[in-house]
Structure 1
Amino acid sequence: MVVDGVTVENLDLLSDSECSLISRLNHCCTPFGRRLLRQWVSAPLCDINAIQARQEAISWLLSGEGQSIVKTVKGKLAGIPDLERMLSAIHSNGNEVRSKTHPDSRAIFYEDKIYSKRRINDFLAALGGFKILAQVSETFEGVDCQSKLLLQATHTKQTSPIGRFPELKEALDFFDEAFNHNVAKQEGRIIPVKGVDHEYDSSLEEIAGIEEELNEHLKEQKKVFGCKGKLGKSPDVVAEGNVTYFGTDRKRYQIEVPDHACKRATDDHNLQSQRKGFKRYYTPEGKELLARMMAAEDKKAASLRDLNRRIFAQFSNYQANWVAAVECISVLDVLLSLAEYSRSQEGEICVPKFNQPSDLQKPFIDIKEGRHPCILVTGGFIPNDTAIGQKPGDEETEKEDNDNDASLILVTGPNMGGKSTLMRQVGLIVILAQMGCHVPATSCHLTPVDRVFTRLGASDRIEHGESTFCVEMSETAAILRHATPHSLILMDELGRGTATYDGTAIAAAVVKELVAVGCRTLFSTHYHSLVNDFAKWSGVSLGHMVSCELSNFILQIN
Structure 2
Amino acid sequence: MMAQYLEIKAQNTDCLLFYRMGDFYELFFDDAIIASAALGITLTKRGKHQGDDIPMAGVPVVSSDDYLQRLIAHGFRVAVCEQTEDPAEARKRGSKSVVARQVVRLVTPGTITEETLLEPGRPNFLVSIARLGGSATGDYALAWTDLSTGLFRLTSTQPDLLATDVLALEPSEVIYPDNLAREPEMVALVRRLQRAARAEPAVLFDGATAQERICRFFDVSTLAGYGDFSRAELAAAAALISYLGKTQFAARPALDYPRKVSAGSVMMIDPATRASLELTRTLSGKTQGSLLATIDRTVTAAGCRVLASRLAQPLTDSEEIAQRLACVEFFVEEPVLADAFRLTIKGTSDIERAISRLSLDRAGPRDLGAVMSGLERARQTVEILAGHDLPAELAGAVQHLQKLPVELLQKLDTMLAEELPLQKRDGGFIASGAIPALDEARGLRDESRRYIAGLQQHYADETGLKSLKIKHNNVLGFFIEVPESQGPTLLSSYSGYIHRQTMANAMRFSTVELGDLESRIVEAGATALRLELEAFDHLRDVVLQETAALRRAAESFAILDVSAALAELARANGWVRPEVDDSLSFCIENGRHPVVEAALKASGGDAFVANDCDLSPPVGAEVQGGAIWLLTGPNMGGKSTFLRQNALIAVLAQMGSFVPAGRARIGVVDRLFSRVGASDDLAEGRSTFMVEMVETAAILNQAGPRTLVILDEIGRGTSTYDGLSIAFAAVEHLHNANRCRALFATHFHELTALSSRLSRLSNATMRVKEWEGEVIFLHEVKAGVADRSYGIQVARLAGLPAAVVERARHVLSELEKSEQGEKRAAIIDDLPLFSMLSRPVPEEKKISPVLEALSAFDPDQMSPRDALEAVYELKRLSKL
TM-score range, shorter chain: 0.5 to 0.7
Could you say if the C-alpha distance between residues 414 and 281 of structure 1 is closer, same or farther in structure 2, counting changes exceeding 3 Å? closer
Tell whether the 8 Å contact from 1:58 to 1:335 is kept in structure 2 after alignment: yes
CA apart distance, 1:520:
1.9
Provide the TM-score with structure 1 as the length reference. 0.67
Among 278, 300, 304, which residue is 1:12 paired with? 278
Does the Cα contact within 8 Å between 1:179 and 1:190 map onto a contact in 2?
no
**Helix, strand or coil at the partner of 2:316:** coil
Whole-angstrom CA distance in 2 between matches of 1:39 and 1:365: 24
3-state SS of paired residue (2:689): helix
Report the counterpart of residue 140 of structure 1 in structure 2: 385
- 1 CA distance for matches of 2:543 and 2:720? 65
Partner residue of 1:73 out of 330, 338, 341: 341
One-letter code aligned to 1:12:
E
Task: Evaluate the alpha carbon distance shift between residue 191 and residue 22 of structure 1 in structure 2; reply closer, same or farther with a 3 A threshold.
Answer: closer
For residues 509-538 of structure 1, the C-alpha deviation after alignment (integer angstroms, 9 at most, x for no partner) is 333433312222222222334333563234
- Structure 1: stretches of 5+ with no match in the other structure: 100-118, 158-162, 205-236, 241-248, 252-257, 263-270, 274-279, 283-292, 391-396
Amino acid at match of 1:504: L
Matched, 1:30 2:300: yes
In the alignment, what sits opposite 2:540?
313
Whichever residue aligns with residue 21 of structure 1, its letter is L
Decide which structure has greater strand share: 2
Taking a change above 3 Å as real, the CA distance of residues 534 and 67 of structure 1, as seen in their structure-2 partners, is closer
1:327 deviates by 1.6
| Aligned counterparts, 1:205-220, within 5 A | none
SS at match of 2:564: helix
2:431 and 2:700 mapped to 1: Cα distance? 67
Q: How far is 1:494 from its partner?
A: 0.9
Alpha carbons of 1:124 and 1:193: their partners in 2 closer, same or farther (altered >3 Å)?
closer
Q: Is the 8 A contact 1:451 1:487 kept in 2?
A: yes
Whole-angstrom CA distance in 1 between matches of 2:578 and 2:643: 18
For the 8 Å contact 2:325–2:658, the answer to whether it is kept is yes
Deviations 1:267-321 (A, max 9, x none): xxxx999xxxxxx999xxxxxxxxxx9xx99996784374265145225412323
1:407 is aligned with what amino acid? G
User: Does the 8 Å CA contact 1:408/1:523 hold for their aligned counterparts?
Assistant: no
Q: State the shift of 1:4 in Å.
A: 3.1
- State whether residues 615 and 742 of structure 2, in contact with CA within 8 Å, keep that contact through their aligned partners in structure 1: no
Query: Relative to structure 1, is the Cα distance of residues 492 and 88 closer, same or farther in structure 2, using a 3 angstrom cutoff?
Result: same
- Are residues 1:92 and 2:92 paired? no
CA distance in 2, matches of 1:462, 1:183: 52
1:471 maps to 2:739: no
What is aligned with 1:370? 591
| Inter-CA distance 367–536: structure 2 relative to 1 (3 Å threshold) | same
What residue number does 1:520 align with? Answer: 741
- Three-state SS of the structure 2 residue aligned to 1:385 is strand
Structure 2 CA distance for aligned equivalents of residues 184 and 419 of structure 1: 55
Q: Which has the higher contact order (CA 8 A, sep 6+)?
A: 1
Residue by residue over 1:78-117, the C-alpha shift from the partner in whole angstroms, topping out at 9 and shown as x without a partner, is 3x25x33x65356435645x79xxxxxxxxxxxxxxxxxx
Q: Which residue of 2 aligns with 1:225?
A: none
Is 1:149 equivalent to 2:393 in the alignment? yes
Deviations 1:481-500 (A, max 9, x none): 43333221111111111112
Residue 94 of structure 1 contacts residue 312 of structure 1 at CA under 8 Å; is this kept in 2? no
Aligned-partner Cα distance in 2 for 1:182–1:524: 60
Matched, 1:438 2:682: no
Q: Does the 8 Å CA contact 1:94/1:309 hold for their aligned counterparts?
A: no
Task: Kindly indicate whether the alpha-carbon contact (under 8 Å) linking 2:332 and 2:571 is maintained by their aligned counterparts in 1.
Answer: yes
CA distance in 2, matches of 1:458, 1:182: 54
- Cα deviation, residue 179, structure 1: 5.0
Kindly indicate whether the alpha-carbon contact (under 8 Å) linking 1:54 and 1:436 is maintained by their aligned counterparts in 2. Answer: yes
Residue 7 of structure 1 aligns to a residue whose secondary structure is helix
Q: Which stretches in structure 2 are left out of the alignment for 5+ residues?
A: 1-266, 442-457, 463-475, 479-490, 501-509, 513-519, 784-880
TM-score by length of 2: 0.44
Amino acid at match of 1:61: F
Identity %: 28
* 2:642 alignment partner, one of 412, 419, 422: 422
Whole-angstrom distance in 2 between the partners of 1:182 and 1:382? 52
Instruction: Tell me which residue corresponds to 2:565.
Output: 337
**Cα distance in 2, alignment partners of residues 385 and 76 from structure 1:** 40
SS of 2:668's partner is coil
Give how far 1:19 is off.
5.0
Matches within 5 A, 1:120-139: 120-121=365-366, 123-124=368-369, 126-139=371-384
Kindly indicate whether the alpha-carbon contact (under 8 Å) linking 1:94 and 1:310 is maintained by their aligned counterparts in 2: no
Q: Give the C-alpha shift of residue 501 in structure 1.
A: 1.9
Q: Which residue in 1 is equivalent to 2:716?
A: 496
Q: What secondary structure is seen at the aligned counterpart in 2 of 1:537? A: coil
Deviation of the 1:195 alpha carbon: 13
| Alignment: residue pair count | 463
The 5 Å alignment of 1:33-432 reads 33-63=303-333, 66-78=334-346, 80-81=347-348, 83-84=349-350, 87-89=352-354, 91-92=356-357, 95=360, 119-121=364-366, 123-124=368-369, 126-142=371-387, 144-153=388-397, 155=398, 157=399, 163=400, 166-181=403-418, 188-189=426-427, 303-304=530-531, 306-307=533-534, 309-311=536-538, 313-314=540-541, 316-317=543-544, 318-346=546-574, 349-356=575-582, 363-374=584-595, 375-376=597-598, 379=607, 381-389=609-617, 397-398=619-620, 405-416=624-635, 417-432=637-652
What is the RMSD computed on CA atoms of the aligned residues?
4.9
1:387 Cα deviation after fit: 2.5
CA distance in 1, matches of 2:542, 2:700: 52
- 8 A Cα contact 1:95 1:309, kept in partner: no
Q: What does residue range 533-548 of structure 1 map to in structure 2 within 5 Å?
A: 533=754, 535-538=756-759, 540-548=760-768
| CA apart distance, 1:469 | 0.7
Specify whether residues 44 and 196 from structure 1 end up closer, same or farther in structure 2 by C-alpha distance, changes over 3 A only: farther
Task: Please give the secondary structure, in 2, of the residue aligned with 1:466.
Answer: coil
Aligned partners of 1:406 and 1:541 also within 8 Å: no
